Amino acid sequence: MPERVDPPIAIDILQAEALVFSRYDNHIVRRLSDMKGQFHDQEAYQAMLEEEDRILYEVYDVKRPEQAGELIPGLSIVHPGKVGDEYYMTKGHFHTVIDTAELYYCLRGEGMIVMETPAGEFTAERLKPHTLVYIPPRWSHRSVNTSPTESLATFFVYPANAGHDYGSIERRGFRKLVVERDGGPQLVDNPRWLPPEKW
Residues that bind ligand F6R (CB under 6 A): 30, 59, 74, 76, 90-93, 102, 141, 143, 156, 158, 162, 164
CB-based burial label for 13 (10 Å; 0-12, 13-18, 19+) = middle
* Residue closest to ligand F6R (Cβ): 90
* Cβ proximity of 135 and 90 under 8 Å: no
Whose Cβ is closer to ligand F6R: residue 90's or residue 146's? 90
Q: Choosing among ligand F6R, Zn ion, none, which partner's interface includes residue 74 (Cβ < 5 to 8 Å by kind)? A: ligand F6R
- Residues at the site binding Zn ion, with contacts judged by CB under 5 A: 102
In angstroms, give the least distance from the CB of 102 to Zn ion: 5
For residue 96, how many other CB atoms are within 10 A of its CB? 13
**175 within 8 A of 116, measured Cβ to Cβ:** yes
Residue 179 beta carbon to ligand F6R: minimum distance, rounded to whole angstroms: 19
| Cβ proximity to ligand F6R, 166 vs 181, nearer residue | 166
SS3 150: coil
Q: Which burial class, exposed, middle or buried, applies to 182 when counting CB atoms under 10 A from its CB (0-12, 13-18, 19+)?
A: exposed
Give the nearer residue to ligand F6R in terms of CB position, either 47 or 93: 93
